[in-house]
Every structure is written in C-alpha cells, then in structure tokens.
Amino acid sequence: MSLNAFYRMTNPVQHYEWGSRTALTTLFGLPNPEGAPQAELWMGAHPNGCSLVEVDGAPTRLADLIAAHPEATLGASAAPVGALPFLFKVLCAEKALSVQVHPSKGQAQAGFARDNAAGLAANAPNRNYRDDNHKPELVFALTPYQAMNGFRDFAAILALFQLVAAPSLASLVSAFAAEQTPSGLACFFRALLTLQGHAKEEAFAALHAAAMAHREEETFAAVLDLFEQYPGDVGLFAPLLLHVVTLAPGQAMYLGAGTPHAYIRGAGLEIMANSDNVLRAGLTGKHMDVEELLSCTRCEPTPAEKIMLAPRLEGAVQHFDVPVPDFTFSVYPAGQHELHSASAEVLLAIDGELSLVQEGASLSLQPGQSAFVPAVTGCYRVQAKGRFARAGNG
C-alpha cells in the first residue's frame, strides 16, 4: 500500500463511568443514543483503543498502517521505536478521576523491570507499572475545567488542616507543623493515605463539617462534591493538600513526573506520552501502593504561578512548549496556514470546518473530527474556519 497525504481518523470512545453523557454531543455533535458516559475520545495507535484509517477502501488500524511504514509515518526520530510516541484525547469528566502521580522515565524503567521480575501478569490489577515509559501530560481546557495540580505550600496545607481541626489528626498536623519540609510533608501524606478505622471516620466527620461551614470557597465546595462521588475515600483530603484550580477555556496545564494531580470536572484536550503508568493516591477503587507512590512523588510545593502553562505565541498560533520530546501541542486560529509535517501528526478541528490540502490530495474535517498526517507528507496547507489543534512530536 502507498501512503496518502492525509487520513481521516475514526476514533474510539472510552465509556469510563466518570465520563460526561453530554459533553461530546454538545461540543462536537457526537451522537449518544444510549446515554452512556463518554469519558474519552482517543486519537492515536494505542493497543487499548486504536483509531481506524481507511487504506485502499478498507478500515485499517492506525497501528497497522504505522507498522507497515514506520519511517514514512513516524519520521526518522520515532521510527526506531515503531510506535506513535503520543496519545491525543478529548477528555470529558463529569466525576473526578483518581488523584495520581506519574513516574519519571528512570522510575518507570526500574519499576516495570521489578514488576516483571516479580512475575506479575501484564494486566495484573496489583501491577504498579504497565510499561517502561514516563507519562508526562498536557491538558487544554475546552470548557471550564476544574482540577487539582501540585502541592500547596506547607503553610497553606497546615492552615486548611488546622481549620478542619480533626482530633484524630491533631498529632499528625503538629508533627508536620514542626517539620515543614518535603520529608515532613511526605510523612503527613503517608499518614493520611493509610488512615484506618475510627481515626479515619472521625477525620472525615470533621472534614465534612468544615466543608459545610466553608462551602462557598472553591476548595471546600470541591471537598463536598467529592464526598458525594467517593464517600470514605482517602482522596477526600486531596483538595486540602493540592491546588484546586479551574482552567478557563483555552488555558492549559502541563503535568510532569512526580506531581500529584486529579481532574475534577470539565472537557478538554489531553496529550500524553505513550504510557499507562499511573500511581494512584485516592478517588479510586483501583490498586494503591502508598510506598511506591511516595517514592515517585515530589513532596514540594508547586508555586501558584507555575500551575498554568502559558503558550509561546507565533502570530496568533499558540505553541504549548513542554520539556519532553514525546509530544508537541499547538492551537491554531481560523485562517490559512502553511504547515510542514516533521513527524507523525494529528490535527483536530475544534470549532470550525478544516480543510487539509496538498497537490492532488485534500481532506475536510468537521469540528470533533481528526486527521492523521504521516511525517512523509511534508508541506501542506490548511484552511480553517475555526480553531484547530495540532499534535506531533517533531
């Protein structure tokens, strides 16, 4: 088979139970006759949800197209790996996702080898590491998008827990107050994650009372939301530990290794390295390994001004630069654009029709539709009636 300049993608939807039942329909007109949760639309070549492209009239997995032409689809930099280095998603959360930390590449390599040596099956639920890659990620808000990202500073965490004033947490809070350092926070975090029995129930009762009394504040309003969604879960403390932020549409955040975070509600675009490595810290029924989590967590405050990722502007084009080679992400305004694919690319029409043109080839996309552009395509033109997102790794 010979390569086309552009491929229309047919993308799988993941129906995780925290997904919105309306967002993909509202944003992109995607039908949802059964009213199922539509959590994530995946654009990529991941084995757990691979996009389809049309090759010689037949629906073909994007992964198979890439495997047949690694160099021409991926370009020289990614061809040796033989897989798309990134996964691009539309994510629509109605309920919070788990609080989580992603390992660094070194931690993932060591941890994956350890899990393999321990004889854990690839899909074992108690496996910490699914692969040997890091999982940096970037999220770009399409609607107001509430999330938790990074530790608050030590004094702010202490003030919130002092306000909750749970008797069963008093000695832990004083110990942290006496040692306001990363290791002091690590001890405090570990103690919260491993609370049991009566101490845990009493702490939740105090937390709930404080949240009711301060429900007009975003932090405590988030705690109350989470009480409804995840009763009895240690993640209920997370809004006191982590910054609670709401991205305005068009704002973005980058989550590097070691930063605890959770998405609470909203629709956005998410792009990440090709990995499934997630260490959980609450708001989940899935496996949690507190010690492994802590070994991968940077227990340091994230300064408030570092939470958002401001774009680098090139005219009206927004480039969201990240400190990893796994992906690039840019948002283009309506208009005419001359582009050059230096890697495999995925273009997603956000809020207007998009036409991709190269001599002898053209493809038009409606909002919510995406195209795969092989590295070998090179120069092409885009006529956009609205914004579009461009993902790549070159």
Nearer to Zn ion, 104 or 362 (CB): 104
Catalytic hit among 127, 280, 387, 390:
280
Q: What is the DSSP letter of 324?
A: S
How far, in Å, are 208, 353, 360 from residue 228 at the CA level? 11, 40, 56
Nearer to Zn ion, 258 or 301 (CB): 258
* Residue 284, token pair as written in the block: 């989940």
- Sign, Cα dihedral of 289, 291, 292, 293: positive
The least distance separating Zn ion from the CB of residue 279, rounded to whole angstroms, comes to 10
Nearer to Zn ion, 100 or 128 (CB): 100
The least distance separating Zn ion from the CB of residue 393, rounded to whole angstroms, comes to 19
- Is 61 a catalytic site residue? no
The least distance separating Zn ion from the CB of residue 345, rounded to whole angstroms, comes to 23
Instruction: Measure the CA–CA gap between 53 and 74, rounded to whole angstroms.
Output: 15
Nearer to Zn ion, 206 or 244 (CB): 244
CB 294 within 8 A of CB 194: no
Nearer to Zn ion, 52 or 99 (CB): 99
H or E segment at 373? strand 370-373
- Sign, Cα dihedral of 62, 337, 321, 259: negative
* Residue 363, token pair as written in the block: 């493809």
Contact residues: Zn ion, CB under 5 A: 100
Q: At what angle do helices 154-164 and 182-193 cross, to 10 degrees?
A: 40
From the list 197, 224, 229, 199, the residue with the least C-alpha distance to 213 is 224
CB 308 within 8 A of CB 252: yes
The total of other beta-carbon atoms located within 10 Å of residue 11's CB is: 23
Length of the chain (residues): 394
Nearer to Zn ion, 100 or 328 (CB): 100
- Radius of gyration (Cα) for the chain, nearest Å? 22
Instruction: Measure the CA–CA gap between 367 and 28, rounded to whole angstroms.
Output: 6
Instruction: Measure the CA–CA gap between 8 and 20, rounded to whole angstroms.
Output: 25
The least distance separating Zn ion from the CB of residue 272, rounded to whole angstroms, comes to 7
The least distance separating Zn ion from the CB of residue 233, rounded to whole angstroms, comes to 17
Nearer to Zn ion, 100 or 284 (CB): 100
Three-class SS of residue 195?
Answer: coil
- Sign, Cα dihedral of 83, 88, 93, 99: positive
Nearer to Zn ion, 100 or 302 (CB): 100
The least distance separating Zn ion from the CB of residue 98, rounded to whole angstroms, comes to 9
Instruction: Measure the CA–CA gap between 347 and 342, rounded to whole angstroms.
Output: 14
3-state helix, strand, coil in the chain (%, to 5): 30, 30, 40
Beta-carbon contacts of residue 215 (< 8 Å; ≥ 6 apart)? 221, 224
The least distance separating Zn ion from the CB of residue 296, rounded to whole angstroms, comes to 12
CB 126 within 8 A of CB 160: no
The least distance separating Zn ion from the CB of residue 273, rounded to whole angstroms, comes to 11
Q: Which residues are catalytically annotated?
A: 280
